Chains A and B, each alone.
Chain A
Amino acid sequence: MTAHVRNAADAGASVLSVRNISKAFGGIKAVDDVSFDVNSGEILGLIGPNGSGKSTLFNCILGQLKPDQGEVRVNGQSVAGKRACDLNKLGVGRTFQMLQVFPQMTVLENIILAGQEHQGTMFTRLFGPSDAGLTEEAAKLIDFFRLGHLRDELAGSLSYGQQKLLDAAMAFMAGPSLVLLDEPAGGVNLTMLENLKERLVAFNRERGSTFVVIEHNMDFVMSLCTRILVLAGGRIIAEGTPAEIRSNPEVIEAYLGG
């Protein structure tokens, strides 16, 4: 069984380490020598104006782009050359900017799918139980995200906000040590947003999960994250708690001055 509750002794250890990452596209440096660490249990916000290199950095971390130099390690292992599924097996969960659920499968099936590849072997997945022994655990997670009443509905028939919750829940199913959330607030209305934030915070507290969040919505980031990195022109220009960032003149300059 996958342990959702991480060992308390791990708290504070580096889950993600980014070292001197640079990436240029045709002479323009999208990411320029960026380094930072994310410790266990943290919710790290990654913000910056459009074109500041957030997405490029994100893709480098996820192994989708090969950085020109530098290295990304998750739990001490390099992500270089890893496919998305390998990275997931390494303990990295993620969501996408655009909503990504499986509309023709039920909520329960969506969640089971998100966990099943971490259970047993190819062989047991073919000849073992059809839910890979995950129904109970999946139901718990669904309840946690307050989708219990929709368990057997097709994911495609859910409202946008509910799908967004499901989307996030899937990223957590396999008990990842690190979850990367790409603009989780995008397109979500205010009430839904509160709900989503509240659940994410609760999850972080109860299970000690580590998040990295890219987000434009300042209020959302400020109230969710424990630490924030500000990216501008491919470099980290500020780092600190939400309160520090809010009052940092360089950040204000980057956003307003451009």
Chain B
Amino acid sequence: MNSRNLILVLVGIAALIAAPLGQGNYVIYVLCSWLIFSIAAMGLNLTLGYAGQVSLAQAAFMGIGAYTTALLTMAGVHWIFAAPAAMVLCFVIGLVLGYPALRVQHHFLAFVTLAFSTLTFLVLRNEEWLTGGSLGLVGIMRPKFLGFDTMPQLHFYYFTLAVFVLVALLFWGLVHSPWGRAFKALRENPIRANSLGVDIRRMTLLAFAIGSALGGLAGALAAPLVQFIDPPAFSLMHSLKILLMVVVGGSGYFFGPILGAGLVIVMPEFLRFTEGYYLMIYAAMVLVLMIVCPTGLIGLGRKFASQFKGRSVRGDLKEGAKL
């Protein structure tokens, strides 16, 4: 990371720290949801943007994470142990689900996760003894950390922010490690990557499982934020919503899902004046974006930027007729 980017990131973090000050509970709540969905979308971005696999179950993983955390914390386990447990569970489920699907064929993970998403909903709804059924679980506690109580909305925001920054740093490290390079390679050209020794099946599976674990972490934060969870909150529609965040923001870009999550969560606020029409307008905008620029908003921004700067000189032209 060069120093200019470093400064931008520090400014960004400072802005995030200052954002909720003087705001009402609702605005802070929206900010919290944004950070939480950013984590889920970052996870999906690893699966989709880096490893090139469509997962339609990210909200289901959020649900598994949320229920695991809720049940454990309500049984007296501290969040700091419950959340990793939720992540491990999602990671393992990701492996179990992904292994057979990826063994078969490339686009089959999408189908398997689609089915898994609905199956998860059914289990959460039907297994009342564990999950509270369609009425859900009420009274989830927010955690305390050595005297820092996250019960007040603002405190919870800073708790979420801390987790978010930590996840973002780890994620940055991951995509810039050899693993990340392998992920990118198998998105761009899996056959070539395979011939260079990249075990594509294993790396794809890992990308999916890690992405799912991040979904679980997002769920582990969502449960204490809302203090209530029920099955419809993690249905297929919400998985599509997270997918939308990644694609609209720009899949494969580090900041894409964060931007996308912000848009998807904040957009209804701006379109509120249109009353019932906002979903319609929203869908139309996504449709147009996909037709005009399938690489998402960051891709669109880059397109504009490069036109503005004038086309960068191609490496081979710079070197003239050396070859």
Contact = CB atoms under 8 A, between A and B. Distances in A.
Interface residues of A, number: 45
Contacts of A170: 196
B185 to A, nearest CB: 5
A214 B310 CA distance: 42
Contact of A88 (B177, B181, B196): B196
A173 B179 CA distance: 18
Contacts of B200: 85
B323 A161 contact: yes
Contacts of B193: 102, 113
Contacts, number: 107
Interface stretch (B65-73, B114-122, B255-263, B311-319): B311-319
B323 A130 contact: no
A75 B271 CA distance: 66
Contacts of A157: 314-316
Contacts of B188: 102-105
Contact of A113 (B181, B315, B316, B322): B181
Contacts of B319: 149-150
Given A159-B323, A195-B323, A105 B181 contact: yes
Interface string A95-136: 010001111110001001110111100000111101110000
A113 B196 contact: yes
Given A102-B188, A104-B188, A157-B316, A126 B174 contact: yes
B174 A117 contact: no
Contacts of A101: 189, 192
A100 B196 CA distance: 11
Interface in A64-86: 83-85
A153 B315 contact: yes
Given A83-B194, A113-B196, A174-B197, A130 B178 contact: yes
A132 to B, nearest CB: 5
A174 B174 contact: no
Contacts of B315: 150, 153-154, 157-158, 162
B182 A85 contact: no
- Chain B interface size, as a band, is 20 to 34
Given A150-B319, A159-B316, A192-B323, A113 B189 contact: no
A127 B188 CA distance: 24
Given A85-B199, A149-B319, A125 B177 contact: yes
A96 to B, nearest CB: 7
A23 interface: no
A113 B176 contact: no
A162 B316 contact: yes
A7 interface: no
Given A125-B178, A150-B319, A153-B315, A88 B195 contact: yes
Interface in B109-147: none
A113 B314 contact: no
A77 to B, nearest CB: 16
A157 B314 CA distance: 6
Contact of B177 (A126, A146, A149, A153): A126
Nearest to B314: A157
A88 B196 CA distance: 6
A116 B316 contact: no
A89 interface: yes
Contacts of A83: 194, 199
A191 interface: yes
B309 to A, nearest CB: 15
The CB with the most chain A CB atoms within 10 A, among B176, B182, B196, B315, is that of B196
A96 B181 CA distance: 21
Contacts of B185: 102, 105, 113
A94 interface: yes
A114 B196 contact: yes
5 contacts: A88-B197, A100-B191, A102-B185, A105-B184, A170-B196
Given A116-B182, A117-B196, 11 more contacts: A84-B195, A88-B194, A96-B191, A100-B189, A100-B195, A102-B193, A117-B178, A125-B177, A157-B316, A158-B315, A174-B197
Interface of A: 83-85, 88-89, 93-94, 96, 100-105, 109, 112-114, 116-119, 125-128, 130-132, 146, 149-150, 153-154, 157-159, 161-162, 170, 173-174, 191-192, 195
